[in-house]
Structure 1
């Protein structure tokens, strides 16, 4: 009797298994969970992220104070209530006292009230500059990312030239062109500096969208180019740009303070601004450093809040850096 062929034995085993009725109900089941959008998934991580919560708390407090500043300020920020205590020879700066916990400045005005009201002007400059920079960046980014070719090359070369100049130097140069410094010269100068950042980021996102499946399907169906750009490419490319705007807002506040410190901001100190207060305090920095410390701390903490919140948003929305 010839030995049994291993191949025949394996074939016979497979046939037996196919012919038998195998029960697989006890093999286990997988719980079905509903799909979660990117925003909902990011929010689940953000609400458990202490870094984001700290940044959001600082940012929310700053915005709240800026909105209600005129109602919570103890005194009129331009009223010289302590002018009778100002003596150029012995005591040019009134110290802390009842009703004036931080004292006054060299003109007898309440320092605490000026810090509180100054938050509104700082927020206004930062938000306005960021929005204008975002608008300009969107226009250039859409032109470069949607059309490509010569348009893309021209726009990107202009963006490269702007990025080759240090941001603060470019902002100072633009602000210095104005005949008379004002709040709007600071806003425009900072906005121009931020335009190439948004333009390059949006252009990169849109180039990635051009080769995506849904864009290729829309082109195959004969959808107009304008509809593809504004209904498919732009909305799906705005995520990184919105996250970047939170980071840019922090740098805008710092740049605005720097321009005001250099004397290129609003010369009218009836409406205080933190950078402006820093510039006015430099002549008393050795004997009365608190005049510069208080507005500097406000700028640092607010910029820190926006930075922490922006970095957390970037990590939550970026699949490559999710923790």
Structure 2
């Protein structure tokens, strides 16, 4: 019997026959229910919507954002009006207690504490978002330059980043805020944003270096694609995932750092515009006799920071390929 004939007497399948069988199997697998391929984002969302930790954090963030946006209408009283000033006694160290129309009472000068907490959420959200956006923009610029160009540019940028990271974040923010002759909300945002820049820069630079040796980047170089197009169409979009997750975590840190700077007196000195960190700093003089003035703003800061942290950690786990099931 000829060597081209198998033991059963039939000829082995040709290359074309094998390709047809593989295509048929692939089509059958793709037509199966629930077996179609999904993107990383869709797969991550499937896990997130079943994750109670993510749902809890998302609920806190949504509630915080809604309250901050609607705070001028939710506040029952003008946060600057001293409606309870007649109940304040500095000699006896008395402040207005909770009463009808004022569920949390008043502060040291008779202003409604609940209204100030509601309106202060808007300032806290603004500081956290603007500081994170500015820090993200600066980090994207430095990380893209370092990761795309490499060489001495990468070494120079990373040495500057290493110096900034070697200084404790709160100390660096305090030093930057102290440089301005008159503290304000803008100085707080700028100080907190500067602290976040090296974090984003190092993270993006590492992701882009990993993309430089990937197959699709090497293929684009072999096809003669321009370096600028490779950076902005292939490397940068595929490196933004970890940076976006880090931005969610940084929001929590930005809110805490901004509150710390306001507590230390580097925030907006005008207390007619309430902010949680500023309210916490103003309560330190009476914290032994009226701890509720510090408890409520501190509790709000902790809960909101917890919400952003829970969402950020859940996103990190969901987008990690090692956790894909």
On whether the aligned pair clears a TM of 0.5, the verdict is yes
TM-superposed CA distance for 1:197, in Å, is 0.4
TM-superposed CA distance for 1:291, in Å, is 0.2
TM-superposed CA distance for 1:210, in Å, is 0.7
Partner residue of 1:138? 140
Distance 2:110 2:216 in 1: 65
TM-superposed CA distance for 1:34, in Å, is 2.1
TM-superposed CA distance for 1:91, in Å, is 4.6
TM-superposed CA distance for 1:225, in Å, is 1.0
TM-superposed CA distance for 1:87, in Å, is 1.1
User: Do the aligned partners of 1:209 and 1:215 also contact (CA within 8 Å) in 2?
Assistant: yes
Count of aligned pairs: 308
Distance 1:190 1:34 in 2: 45
Partner residue of 2:7? 15
Partner residue of 1:194? 196
Q: Which moved more, 1:257-266 or 1:83-92?
A: 83-92
Q: For each residue in 1:53-84, what CA deviation from the matched residue of structure 2 results, as whole angstroms up to 9, or x when unmatched? A: 00000000000000000000010000000011
Would the alpha carbon gap of residues 311 and 160 (structure 1) be closer, same or farther in structure 2, given more than 3 Å must change? Answer: same
Distance 1:135 1:152 in 2: 18
Which of 131, 152, 155 is residue 154 of structure 2 equivalent to?
Answer: 152
Which of 100, 103, 116 is residue 102 of structure 2 equivalent to?
Answer: 100
User: Do the aligned partners of 1:145 and 1:203 also contact (CA within 8 Å) in 2?
Assistant: yes
Would the alpha carbon gap of residues 148 and 82 (structure 1) be closer, same or farther in structure 2, given more than 3 Å must change? Answer: same
From the CA coordinates, give the structure whose radius of gyration is larger.
1
Partner residue of 1:170? 172
Q: For each residue in 1:227-249, what CA deviation from the matched residue of structure 2 results, as whole angstroms up to 9, or x when unmatched? A: 11111111111010000000000
Partner residue of 1:23? none
TM-superposed CA distance for 1:220, in Å, is 1.1
Q: Secondary structure at the match of 2:72?
A: helix
TM-superposed CA distance for 1:221, in Å, is 1.3
Distance 1:237 1:76 in 2: 46
1:214-293 map, 5 Å? 214-293=216-295
Structure 1 residue ranges without an equivalent (≥5):
1-10, 21-28
Q: Secondary structure at the match of 1:16?
A: coil
Q: For each residue in 1:195-247, what CA deviation from the matched residue of structure 2 results, as whole angstroms up to 9, or x when unmatched? A: 00000000011011111111111111111111111111111110100000000
Distance 1:164 1:136 in 2: 18
